[in-house]
Amino acid sequence: MAIAKRLAAEFIGTALLLAIGGGATIAARRLAAGDAAMALLVSALVGATGLAVLILTFGNISGGLFNPVLTLSEAWRGKLRREHVAPYIVVQVAGALAGVAAVHGMYGLDLMAIPRQASGGGGQWLGEFVATFGMVCVFIGCGRARPVVAPFAVSAYVMAACWFSSSSAFMNPALTLARSIGEGGALRLADAPAFVLSQLAGAAAATAVFIWLFGPARTAVRT
Amino acid sequence: MAIAKRLAAEFIGTALLLAIGGGATIAARRLAAGDAAMALLVSALVGATGLAVLILTFGNISGGLFNPVLTLSEAWRGKLRREHVAPYIVVQVAGALAGVAAVHGMYGLDLMAIPRQASGGGGQWLGEFVATFGMVCVFIGCGRARPVVAPFAVSAYVMAACWFSSSSAFMNPALTLARSIGEGGALRLADAPAFVLSQLAGAAAATAVFIWLFGPARTAVRT
Amino acid sequence: MAIAKRLAAEFIGTALLLAIGGGATIAARRLAAGDAAMALLVSALVGATGLAVLILTFGNISGGLFNPVLTLSEAWRGKLRREHVAPYIVVQVAGALAGVAAVHGMYGLDLMAIPRQASGGGGQWLGEFVATFGMVCVFIGCGRARPVVAPFAVSAYVMAACWFSSSSAFMNPALTLARSIGEGGALRLADAPAFVLSQLAGAAAATAVFIWLFGPARTAVRT
Amino acid sequence: MAIAKRLAAEFIGTALLLAIGGGATIAARRLAAGDAAMALLVSALVGATGLAVLILTFGNISGGLFNPVLTLSEAWRGKLRREHVAPYIVVQVAGALAGVAAVHGMYGLDLMAIPRQASGGGGQWLGEFVATFGMVCVFIGCGRARPVVAPFAVSAYVMAACWFSSSSAFMNPALTLARSIGEGGALRLADAPAFVLSQLAGAAAATAVFIWLFGPARTAVRT
């Protein structure tokens, strides 16, 4: 598949992912009327469902990564060409911003002014590390052992991480950035770097464990 | 499969789809007693579950479309004969009306007098466009890459769209029509055309993207 | 597989199905503390999940029917020997009673004194007819087209039917009987026959439709 | 696969399983603000989802048991070498303790001081026996008939058991032990042995039933 089509798929997929996650979060908070558990139940279910569906839809075109840490992990394991890393990350970030813009268009800006969920600190950074570590374990381990169900496994893990982690489980630098811009974001822009560093550390640890377990990736570079 | 049997499958499937969606919406509103998030959680889960099951049950007979925009998209991509488009749409609309009638029989007419959910406007039309665009992306993209799981992916997307879209995510002209007739519908009949136009535009955009990505459909016309 | 092992599988499976459904209903009502939508959401999800798991566990031994109307439908379509119909129904009813007894042992009898859910009448009988009609459509149609996912489809349909039907969606004479005995049942024993008749009519209609669509079952009698 | 890698997989998997289950329980109780049904709905869904994902991720390395009663059942059926039983159980217990420690690190110790759920007694021991009996039936029966879906079936059963059983459905001695240590555990350490005995009895009964149904396991010892 030509690189232009792969980048288009990453862009559309990341944009729809953020539109689904952001729109559902707004609708859930509005309808739940203060019931925080119901709001998170809906956000986590709908966001994870959207992720599974988008991997199934765009995965065979671009890999369906939608996430810079997975882009880097794939390149480290030799499954993505190094010269494609930067373009992938650029369109992932651009898609995330487009998705947030679609949410603004659907719901209006003022509705985005929701309370910030995350502010960092040791417990949250540990949570982000553990959550991303587990997500990359599932991405690599299930993607190797049971590739057919990997989209569902990654999605299901993300749903679980939204609940078990103390950090809101962003696990994705593009999403972290897009949701920390502007007044209504989920975290402050100044707090974003520490989250991204925790994500990179968790992803690196998981990638290292699986390289120890199985050696370098078996399959060829995606061309 | 003879065209009469295929039309029977589209009719029964669309009728059961509307009976499931409509009955669940009534039961959920009644039991949820004002908890709007719970009512939508149940309606979205049950309606999407019904869709998946009905595609699995009738898909190998008629395609399991149950939706005029998918009928048109399939015809554009050369996967449905043009002379079958009109009969398909007729039985889809008739089935939708039969499903609403079954709900009236089960619950009585007065219970149908629920508040109208949708009334249109720019944000809702954008929502309907984005929701239908994504649904047709999933229908074509997953149907091409992973046909075995496509019924689940379309269903899961519909559940997500019920939450993320600002428009109630009808995404289906037959459903839009059947639920805008009479006193207890989900939207006013006068608002229906703008929703249907947004649905057609979203479906056309997604179909065009996938024709660009992959060219014309690979498989033969369903006969 | 020897008939004794098949009957043992139907007995254990039906008993676990009723233990799961009954225990979850009690726990859900107790924890939900008056939130009727939450109680039904949990009962429907857990009961349907239990059904899927039990079909996957015992299906290759006995067919995983756990339900007299499916036993009769299978016999009509030539997939179950006629002389096995009566023993199957006997162990299905016995298993259902054993499952209710296990619930009594776990929770104590007084907790079973929950309000009766269903009392019959035209709308409920229509609901039971439609629900059972759809269930048998899914059982036959998906079982023929996509046998690998049929356990999930039947289970998902049952979850949906718990919500959309006006009748509580028993859809199973053994379950109807076991849950109408004693003080704490879901319906009165005197109301049970009309429910069972509606179930038989819905199952017969769906079986007839699929015999028209596909002719007699393709596969041999299970021996 | 070398035994060191298999033990590492059991350790990481059991630790993540307890981190997911414990973290989600804390988050759910905090957000649910007294809604006990919502808290259990979330804990059961997230814990079961985590289990499915971890079996898919680590199952092809170590079997993905994460549970001493499954370790013993597999050894009885000749599918695990007897000399591996003790090391497996040791790392399962160590992993469970590590998972609880991760939850403490993410959330702080005081948040762990949640009310004890279980205290034993005849109804709870029967519940633990029935729940473990069913879990091992699903593990063996579905693992034999439909191995590809067994991770989902076991996970779905665990979700159901959290609801239907009167005993909190621990079903796992390593989990029982790790969650009975310290101030904030789910049960008292003094109550743990009776739960473990009920688990062993349920597992033994189910293993015996399936040895009667099918004879010894067909496949070779995992080496």
ipTM value: 0.88
- pLDDT of D193 over the 90 cut: yes
Cα distance from B60 to chain A (closest Cα, Å)?
Answer: 21
Please check whether residue C164 is in contact with residue C92, taking contact to mean a CB–CB distance below 8 angstroms: no
Assign B223 a pLDDT band (cuts: 50, 70, 90). very low
Cα distance from B10 to chain C (closest Cα, Å)?
Answer: 13
Q: In this predicted structure, what is the pLDDT of residue A107?
A: 85
> What mean pLDDT is predicted for residues C50-65?
94
End-to-end CA distance of chain B: 8
* Residue ranges of chain B whose CB lies within 8 Å of a chain C CB: 5, 8-9, 12, 16, 19-24, 27-28, 31-33, 35, 38-39, 41-42, 46, 49-50, 52-53, 56-61, 102, 105-108
- pLDDT of C183 over the 60 cut: no
Nearest CB to A56 within list B130, B142, B209: B142
B-C CB pairs within 8 A amount to 103
Q: With beta carbons under 8 A apart, name residues in chain A contacting B164.
A: 19-24, 27, 46, 50
- pLDDT of D218 over the 70 cut: no
Distance CA A179, CA A189 (A): 9
Structure-token pair, residue D63: 């079997």
Q: Which residue has the higher pLDDT, B179 or C75?
A: C75
Structure-token pair, residue C158: 């049952």
Q: With beta carbons under 8 A apart, name residues in chain B contacting A4.
A: none
Q: What is the number of other CB atoms lying within 10 angstroms of the CB of residue A175?
A: 26
3-state secondary structure of A222: strand
Domains parsed from chain A with CATH numbers: 3-214 (1.20.1080.10)
Please check whether residue B191 is in contact with residue B118, taking contact to mean a CB–CB distance below 8 angstroms: yes
- pLDDT of C9 over the 70 cut: yes
Q: What is the number of other CB atoms lying within 10 angstroms of the CB of residue C128?
A: 30
Q: In this predicted structure, what is the pLDDT of residue A111?
A: 47
Q: With beta carbons under 8 A apart, name residues in chain C contacting B58.
A: 141
Nearest CB to B105 within list C38, C126, C142: C126
- pLDDT of A185 over the 90 cut: no
Q: In this predicted structure, what is the pLDDT of residue D111?
A: 47
Q: With beta carbons under 8 A apart, name residues in chain C contacting D41.
A: 38, 41-42
User: Please, what is the Cα angle at A55 between C139 and D5, to 5 degrees?
Assistant: 95
Distance CA A153, CA A100 (A): 25
> What mean pLDDT is predicted for residues A41-69?
95
Q: What is the mean pLDDT of chain A?
A: 89
Q: Which element (helix H / strand E) includes B43?
A: helix B36-62
* Closest-CA residue of chain C to D125: C106
Nearest to B156 by CA among A170, D155, A152, A63: A152
Residue with tokens 């569902």: A152
Q: Which residues pair with B80 in a beta bridge?
A: B222
Distance CA C77, CA C97 (A): 28
* Closest-CA residue of chain A to D49: A156
Nearest to B120 by CA among B204, B180, B52: B180
**Residues D39-89: pLDDT tens digits?**
999 999 999 999 999 999 999 999 999 999 999 999 999 999 999 999 999
- pLDDT of C139 over the 60 cut: yes
Residue with tokens 């139907």: C10
Q: With beta carbons under 8 A apart, name residues in chain A contacting D54.
A: 138
Q: With beta carbons under 8 A apart, name residues in chain D contacting C24.
A: 160, 163-164
Please check whether residue D169 is in contact with residue D199, taking contact to mean a CB–CB distance below 8 angstroms: no
3-state secondary structure of A187: strand
Q: With beta carbons under 8 A apart, name residues in chain A contacting D23.
A: 127, 163-166
Q: What is the number of other CB atoms lying within 10 angstroms of the CB of residue A76?
A: 18
Q: In this predicted structure, what is the pLDDT of residue C186?
A: 76
* Closest-CA residue of chain D to A138: D57
- pLDDT of A159 over the 90 cut: yes
Q: Which residues pair with C187 in a beta bridge?
A: C118
- pLDDT of B44 over the 60 cut: yes
Distance CA B58, CA B55 (A): 5
A-B CB pairs within 8 A amount to 102
Asked if B213's CB is within 8 angstroms of A5's CB, the reply is yes
Distance CA D100, CA D114 (A): 14
Distance CA D178, CA D196 (A): 12
Cα distances (angstroms) measured from residue A26 to each of A31, A94, A108, A109, B164: 9, 21, 11, 11, 8
Nearest CB to B28 within list C37, C138, C166: C37
- pLDDT of D112 over the 60 cut: no
Q: Could you tell me the sign of the dihedral formed by the alpha carbons of B93, B95, B99, B100, in that order?
A: positive
Residue with tokens 């030539």: C78
> What mean pLDDT is predicted for residues C151-165?
94
Distance CA B135, CA B172 (A): 10
Q: What is the number of other CB atoms lying within 10 angstroms of the CB of residue A79?
A: 18
Residue with tokens 């849950």: C179
* Residue ranges of chain D whose CB lies within 8 Å of a chain A CB: 5, 8-9, 12, 16, 19-24, 27-28, 31-33, 35, 38-39, 41-42, 46, 49-50, 52-54, 56-61, 102, 105-108
Angle, nearest 10°, between helix axes D3-32 and A150-164?
50
Assign C117 a pLDDT band (cuts: 50, 70, 90). low
Cα distances (angstroms) measured from residue D138 to each of A153, C13, C43, C59, D155: 20, 11, 20, 11, 10
* Residue ranges of chain C whose CB lies within 8 Å of a chain B CB: 35-38, 40-41, 123, 126-127, 130, 134, 137-138, 141-142, 145-146, 149-150, 153, 156-157, 159-161, 163-167, 209, 213
The DSSP letter of residue A169 is -
**For residue D80, which phi and psi values (nearest 5 degrees)?**
-140, 135
Cα distance from D223 to chain A (closest Cα, Å)?
Answer: 17
* Closest-CA residue of chain D to C109: D123
Assign D184 a pLDDT band (cuts: 50, 70, 90). low
Nearest to A133 by CA among A62, A198, A65: A198
Structure-token pair, residue C165: 């039907």
3-state secondary structure of C185: coil
Residue with tokens 């994460």: D66
Write the CB contacts of A10 (distance below 8 Å, at least 6 apart in sequence): A58, A62, A65, A66, A88, A91, A92, A95
**Residues A109-126: pLDDT tens digits?**
654 445 446 666 778 899
Could you give the percent of chain A with pLDDT greater than 90?
A: 73
Asked if B141's CB is within 8 angstroms of A56's CB, the reply is yes
Cα distance from B12 to chain A (closest Cα, Å)?
Answer: 27
Touching partners of C (3+ C-beta pairs < 8 Å): B, D
Q: With beta carbons under 8 A apart, name residues in chain D contacting A146.
A: 56, 60
Assign B9 a pLDDT band (cuts: 50, 70, 90). very high
Q: With beta carbons under 8 A apart, name residues in chain B contacting C155.
A: none
Asked if D149's CB is within 8 angstroms of C106's CB, the reply is no
Q: With beta carbons under 8 A apart, name residues in chain B contacting A32.
A: 37
Q: In this predicted structure, what is the pLDDT of residue B122?
A: 79
> What mean pLDDT is predicted for residues D129-136?
95
Nearest to D77 by CA among D95, D66, D87, D65: D65
